[in-house]
Amino acid sequence: MTTAQAQATLYHDIPEARDVKVAIAGVDVHYGDKQALFDVSMQIPDRSVTAFIGPSGCGKSTFLRCVNRMNDTIDGAVVTGSLKIDGTEINDKTIDPVVLRASVGMVFQKPNPFPKSIYDNVAYGPKIHGLAATREELDGIVEQSLVKAGLWGEVSDRLTDPGTSLSGGQQQRLVIARAIAVNPEVILMDEPCSALDPIATAKVEELIDELRENYCIIMVTHSMAQAARVSQMTAFFHLGNLVEYGPTEEIFTNPRERRTQDYITGRFG
Amino acid sequence: MTEPSKKAATREIVERNLPARYRSESRFRTAGIVAIIVSVIILVLLIGSIGLKSLPAYTAWQIHLPVALDQALVDPEGDSSEASIRQGSFGRVLQNGMRETFPDVSGRSNMRSLFQLYTSLNSTRLMDQVIADPGLIGSDYVFTMPLGDDLDLYLKGMLVEDRSVEMNGVLEIEAGRRRTNIQSQSADFAIVLAELQQMMIDEALSLESRAAANRTLMASVDAEEADRLNEEAARFDQRAQVLRTDAAGENGQLELSDDLPSVIVEFRGGAIRMNRLDLNGQGGSGESILSIAENRSDEAWTLYVVDTPQARRRIPDNQLIWTRALVERGIVTQAFNHYFFANADSREPELAGIRGALNGSILTLIVTLLLSIPVGIATAIYLEEFAPKNKFTDLIEVNINNLAAVPSIIFGLLGVAIFIDVFSLPRGTPVLGGLVLSLMTLPTIIIATRASLKAVPPSIRQAALGVGASRTQSVFHHVLPLATPGILTGSIIGLSRALGETAPLLMIGMVAFIADAPKLSLEGFTEPATVLPVQIYLWYSAAERAFEPRAAAAIIVLLTLIISFNAVAVYLRRKFERRW
Amino acid sequence: MSVISLVALALLVMVAGGFYMGRTRAIKQVAGRSSELHSLPNYYGYYVALWTGFPALLLLAAYGLFGAASTHSWTVAELRAQAHEMSAQFEGDLAANSEYVQLESTLESLELTVNGLREELARLRRANDADRDPHLIQLRLEEQRSSRALLALAGTSIEDYRTGVATGMLVTARETGVAASIRAGFFLTHSDIVRAELFMSDARKIARGETPSELLPELEIVASRLTDHQNTLRNSVGLLVLALAAIALLWTRSQIQPQFRARNNVERLTTVLLIAASILSIITTIGIVLSMLFESMRFFSIIPIQDFLFGLHWSPQIAIREDQLGQSGAFGAIPLFAGTAMITLIAMLVAVPIGLFSAIYLSEYAAPKFRTIAKPVLEVLAGVPTVVFGFFALLTVGPAIRALFTSLGFESAVTQSALSAGLVMGVMIIPFISSLSDDVINAVPQSLRDGSYAMGATRSETVVHVVIPAALPGIFGAVLLAISRAIGETMIVVMAAGQGANLTANPLESVTTITVQIVALLTGDLEFEGPKTLSAFALGLTLFAVTLLMNVIALRVVQKYREKYD
Ligand SMILES: Nc1ncnc2c1ncn2[C@@H]1O[C@H](COP(=O)(O)OP(=O)(O)OP(=O)(O)O)[C@@H](O)[C@H]1O
Ligand SMILES: [Mg+2]
């Protein structure tokens, strides 16, 4: 099967029931002279978790950063091709990354709470974007976000403590709360559990599963089990190419590509 | 509210607030750029203003004076020996030379003024030249010496306000015994005359208004103060009155006092300093300065006006006129100021140079280098490679970091209290200065060396130890060579700091006036010396104005040295920069 | 070539020879089979060379440092000893002189009065609130002041009297043909420091073959003594150095055997040398602390510490002469502290914003190309010697400020003002703050910035809300270090701030600082031991204590900060 045909089939693998949130077509990414992504096209459904898997250095993070234009902050990174959210082209000079990032949140591998109180960490987005007119409103947003992130019970009595005083798992959920405080449409997560112990991981996975109700979540993971547990769609990248993309059960039980199968069964990677 | 509409609302709010956010963003960014630009401007201003101030110091107006080196005067014993030449009257030789050049100058005070065109220190220079070449005895010789500092500034246009007006009416000169009368066919002096009169009237007016001010003040002060004010007002009025009558002239002539601009008539081969101007603007009388007056008439002549009154400058009119004549005759010319680079300090700015300070700096830096670099590197190696982690080495470490931030003046106090008072090292010598500076630079060098040792990856050490080298061998044979560029860079920067340091050296007495450049030899280390920055400080605080450009030029030399030190350091850093 | 250069050269040859001899002897002992040696052959060479060179070199260095001074004091001491009889006669004459005895007893009684007054004052001051009698204290203070002035006067006249008699004796001595060396010794014993210094420097000039300011038989004899002693000392040190090197060479050479642990010995020796070097920095600190402390204690034994720390009036110049117990002159350092604080404050107002914003711009906004241009500019600014800034302050900034403020109607503006000194000092500190903050800002992990950008923050929001708060401890440390630098800065204030100890809050007036006064007190005429000179050390101690405290805190904070993000 040629690549073109493979990709043509991929488009149809989106379950009808869900509408497309992010549509990507022909994306190339260069870091200076080095090309990191080759002609990637895919459609990502809303209200579901899409997992990116693949060996280290294959371009998962790079691709993820295209969706909220974080590649703009890297000197020498050039992204070409089309990226649409709800049909609006975002890989375009006229689109302001600031506005875009307000609706595309991101969570990083290592929890990175700001050197502020727990409250201020969550209130950071609403404050800079001016989402809350009054203090009460802000309090409300902070509480809601912490509740959604499943952290409220643990921190409601110590909101003024520094964010860095929390445990690693709590910090990661704090960062997720921070991301959802601005009501994003898409949440990107780059290996959100790789720095966490199993219990914290389980909590975060649970949280991701809940958030799926309301958000389009794209996550990178190195754990096959995690991809299988939490994602509905899975994309497999290799050497900068999108090799295979489809519903998670299909990818894991019946991959079409030899390389996918080898990777999932641990024969390389 | 449903989720999607909430999201749309969020986006709307974000977009609504965006312009304000971008405005504050651009304000912030501008503040950053402004900060950088301010730093750059200050640097340009600093170097530019000092560079401009230094310009007059690079050239010197010199007198090429023909002198007769009569045996009787310069070699009284007649055996051409050094001892004999040392007894010669070289001052007289120079004076005779000046007299020959201006044969028409007479009178004691005029003579004294004439000999002030140069400093008498030049006679020693002439003597040294004759000692160096006794063959000169008995010959006619052209001796080159710098013009006096004030006249040098005058020729550079920095001492007085002056102007020349070309005239072409016929000028009749009628020589008298004491004064020379001149008469022009047209009213050539009218404009100057009017200016002078106006000046006197203006002065009178200002005196009168001050008197009036005093009188109004009298009402509001006590009696004693009022009396004083009244007296002062009366004095003002009286002086104003005198000025007004003077301005009106007497016997058809205006008298020119020293408080007024000088008016000088210059013509081929002569100059007349006017004492009186006729009120009709056609002539006046004055004294002939350059030549013995004779009756003659001239068609090309110049009116030379020095607006700065004689009473308010350090050099009198006759010296100006002589100097101008010497320039005209080609005896005084401008050349590169080699005195500045070849001489040590001098009381006379025209002979003062940076040579002594430069040698002092070199000697001091040699001591600093010899002491601080070996000790600094040794300390760094010990702390980084050998020292066990314990309280004591921690203490050394904290101590070094703090020592790096101790004000330099404290090291000066240390020098006074320990090296001078306890060890009685000789004050103001390069040994002492170098000792103090090396204690000061030590922390810098230690810190830089440690940083570059730290930058050598542990794998190198492990590899060396792996092939059976001892700890010492691994450090000295493998780690140290790799760290050398970094150590060198740190040392150069430390030394360039030492080169520019002033305060501690002031404390330990390196501020003495040193007229002979210290020799760059072993003895030089224990003789009093001064260093470049201190020389700058000394010149800056000297009274003569001509020292100011020299201080600025010394700064330029110092900055050139320091910047090239730093450039070498940066070059080394770039060239050997290695990413492990 | 001078003797010392020859000795140094010979030493060098011996070191090289020692290395060679050590090496060959080791090889010879095992008949060329180096593997039978305990260490590599070179180590035997190093061992011999180190021992040959190092002790001798130390001796040579000590001679270089102290040689001239010892010759000097040796000569002076010898001459003084020779003039012993004449000095004794001088003292005898004085003791027999009723006028002088009268003067001395006056001085003594005055000293007693002053001491009594001081004790009484101390007692009065210690008194409790109720018993405290401010009026009486005031009265005694005035008495003390006047008797101190009298005491100073008496001291001066005694000095003058002694000088007069001594000069007379010298004149008669010259006429009666007393030996020149005795006259020189007598002169050196009884003249004041400045004239003795001048005399000796002339003598040194003659000894070097240069022309002195005057030619006296006394000078010539001193010069020849100086030359003699210098030669003696130099030759004996030279011999000693060579002997030391030779003995060490032979001894260490004889130690060499195949089983000799040369490498371990060499390494132990190097380690010892390295440790000795590191201890030097500790010794420096101890030297600083002890010397300041010692001299300050002497100062505080004359001027009570509370008068120094809290006194509002500073005018040490009135303090009259050395060797007198009673001193007038005011040593209240508050005006100095205030002046220092004002100039430091102005400097910080300039340097902190500009330096911080430059650092932020360079690390957060600037393209790499711009950085490579702008950084060297700041580095050049950092390398400019302070004397240059002082020159700039006085000749460019000072007049400009004066012109500006006079045109604005502030008639009192002067060229040497706190403002111009403060502004220029601020300029000097800009690169300091900017490079320290640049380090600190760069140490903020990129992940924090990413987190902020991912929330949709602009650059300035990221800087203000995330980077700066994260870097705050480091920036605080940097500012603290900068303040300590400003407080200790000397040349700018010496040249641009003036000498007048005004207690004022007006930055257009001239003020003085701690460092300016230290320089003024120690660079004036050579007047040692008086409270005037000692007060410089008290000021130095204060300066050292304050800056040390700040540095310790700053370095702690910065260290903690670094550890956090490492
Ligand atoms: N800032 C950058 N500059 C240059 N090259 C980069 C940069 N970031 C990533 N790359 C390169 O792009 C390729 C893809 O990197 P990316 O970080 O996307 O990999 P990844 O799939 O996320 O790997 P991992 O699983 O290890 O996180 C790699 O070869 C990497 O070297
Ligand atoms: Mg990645």
Spatial strand order of the sheet with A20-31 comes to A34-45, A20-31, A77-85, A88-89
pLDDT at B94: 92
Find the closest chain B residue to C2 by CA distance. B522
Q: B42, B429, B447, B514: which to substitute to probe chain C, counting the most C Cβ within 10 Å?
A: B42
Is residue A147 in contact with ligand 1, taking CB distance under 6 Å? Answer: no
Cα separation of B481 and B460, whole Å?
11
Give the Å distance between the CA of A38 and the centre of ligand 2.
16
3-state secondary structure of B392: helix
Asked if A64 and A104 touch (Cβ cutoff 8 Å), the reply is no
Give the Å distance between the CA of A70 and the centre of ligand 2.
13
Chain B contact set for C273 (CB, 8 A): 378
pLDDT digits (tens, 9 = 90+) for C333-342: 898 999 999 9
3-state secondary structure of B344: coil
As given in the structure block, the two tokens for residue B238 are 């009286």
Instruction: Give me the CATH number covering residue A74.
Output: 3.40.50.300
Closest CA to B303 of B185, B169, B199, B175: B169
Give residue C405's Cα distance to chain centre.
38
Single-letter code of the amino acid located at C90? F
Cα separation of C422 and C351, whole Å?
10
Q: Which ligand is nearest to the CA of A77?
A: 1
Cα separation of B267 and B273, whole Å?
12
Residue A99 touches chain C, beta carbons under 8 Å: yes
Single-letter code of the amino acid located at A4? A
Tell how strand A216-220 and strand A186-190 pair up: parallel
Question: Residue A96 and residue B18: Cβ atoms within 8 Å?
Answer: yes
* Nearest-neighbour CA in chain A from B369: distance (Å): 43
Residue C469 touches chain A, beta carbons under 8 Å: yes
* Nearest-neighbour CA in chain A from C368: distance (Å): 10
Number of domains in chain A: 1
Hey, how many other C-beta atoms are within 10 angstroms of the C-beta on A249?
A: 11
Q: Which domain holds residue A210?
A: 3-112+182-264
Residue A110 touches chain C, beta carbons under 8 Å: yes
Helix (H) or strand (E) holding C8, with range, is helix C3-29
In the numeric block, the tokens 């002031």 are attached to: B506
DSSP string, B278-301: ETTSSEEEEEE-SS----EEESSE
Cα dist from A187 to A29, A44, A54, A61, A67, whole Å: 21, 12, 20, 14, 10
Collect all residues with Cβ–Cβ distance below 8 Å to C270 and sequence separation of at least 6: B472
Q: Please state the length of chain A.
A: 269
Cα separation of C435 and C564, whole Å?
20
Residue A121 touches chain B, beta carbons under 8 Å: no
In a domain, A151, yes or no: no
pLDDT at A4 > cutoff 70: no
All chains having 3 or more CB pairs closer than 8 angstroms to chain B: A, C
Under DSSP, the state recorded for B216 is H
Give the Å distance between the CA of A63 and the centre of ligand 1.
10
- Nearest-5° angle of CA B278, CA B279, CA B284? 10
pLDDT at C63: 86
Report the first-to-last Cα separation within chain B, whole angstroms: 57
Closest CA to C433 of C373, C483, C493, C489: C483
- Mutual angle of helices A168-180 and A118-129, in 10-degree steps: 20
pLDDT at C324: 40
Intervals of chain B under pLDDT 50: 1
* Nearest-neighbour CA in chain B from C263: distance (Å): 9
Cα separation of C173 and C183, whole Å?
7
Tell how strand C314-315 and strand C330-331 pair up: antiparallel
Cα separation of C278 and B398, whole Å?
12
Option in C208, C379, C387 nearest B533 (CB): C387
Asked if C325 and C111 touch (Cβ cutoff 8 Å), the reply is yes
Q: A64, A101, A165, A174: which to substitute to probe chain C, counting the most C Cβ within 10 Å?
A: A101
Quickly name the fold that domain C334-565 has: MetI-like fold (1.10.3720)
Asked if A160 and A119 touch (Cβ cutoff 8 Å), the reply is yes
pLDDT at A2: 42
pLDDT at C323 > cutoff 70: no
pLDDT at A6: 45
Cβ neighbourhood burial of C412 (10 Å; 0-12, 13-18, 19+): exposed
As given in the structure block, the two tokens for residue C354 are 């500009």
**Does the pTM of the predicted model rise above 0.80?**
yes
Q: Which ligand is nearest to the CA of A190?
A: 2
As given in the structure block, the two tokens for residue A113 are 């709470």
Cα separation of C528 and B427, whole Å?
14
Residue C322 banded pLDDT, cuts 50, 70, 90: very low
Q: Where are the alpha helices (DSSP H) in B478-546?
A: 480-500, 503-507, 532-540
Under DSSP, the state recorded for A258 is H
* Nearest-neighbour CA in chain B from A140: distance (Å): 15
Residue C320 banded pLDDT, cuts 50, 70, 90: very low
Q: C365, C452, C455: which to substitute to probe chain A, counting the most A Cβ within 10 Å?
A: C455
Closest CA to A184 of A73, A120, A100: A100
Chain B contact set for A214 (CB, 8 A): 3
Cα separation of B106 and C302, whole Å?
65
Residue C550 banded pLDDT, cuts 50, 70, 90: very high
**What is the CATH code for B350-576?**
1.10.3720.10
Mean pLDDT is lowest, of A162-176, B87-101, C92-106, C207-221, for C207-221
- Mutual angle of helices C531-565 and B391-404, in 10-degree steps: 110
Option in B387, B511, B525 nearest C523 (CB): B511
Of C182 and B64, the one with more pLDDT? B64
Single-letter code of the amino acid located at B376? G
Residue A62 CA, closest ligand 1 atom number: 18
Give the Å distance between the CA of A74 and the centre of ligand 1.
12
Domain segments of chain B as ranges? 1-159+314-337, 162-313, 350-576
Single-letter code of the amino acid located at B225? E
SS3 for B20-62, per residue? HHHHHHHHHHHHHHHHHHHHHHHHHHHHHHHHHHHHHHHEEEE
pLDDT at C321 > cutoff 60: no
pLDDT digits (tens, 9 = 90+) for C214-251: 777 888 888 888 889 888 988 999 999 999 999 998 89
In a domain, A163, yes or no: no
Under DSSP, the state recorded for A162 is B
Residue A182 touches chain C, beta carbons under 8 Å: yes
pLDDT digits (tens, 9 = 90+) for C326-382: 445 678 889 899 999 999 999 999 999 999 999 999 999 988 888 888 887 788 888
Mutate to test the pocket of ligand 1, among A27, A28, A30, A31 (most ligand atoms within 8 A of CB): A31
Residue C515 touches chain B, beta carbons under 8 Å: yes
pLDDT digits (tens, 9 = 90+) for B86-105: 888 899 999 999 998 888 88
Q: What is the dihedral angle through the alpha carbons of C88, C92, C94, C97, rounded to the nearest 10 degrees?
A: -170
pLDDT at A18: 60
Give the Å distance between the CA of C91 and the centre of ligand 1.
94
Cα separation of B368 and B356, whole Å?
18
Domain segments of chain C as ranges? 3-76+230-283, 334-565
pLDDT at A11: 45
Residue C139 banded pLDDT, cuts 50, 70, 90: confident
In a domain, A168, yes or no: no
Spatial strand order of the sheet with B59-68 comes to B140-146, B59-68, B332-336
DSSP string, C525-548: S---SSHHHHHHHHHHHHHHHHHH
pLDDT at C565 > cutoff 60: yes
Cα separation of B123 and B193, whole Å?
44
Residue A7 banded pLDDT, cuts 50, 70, 90: very low
Under DSSP, the state recorded for B477 is I
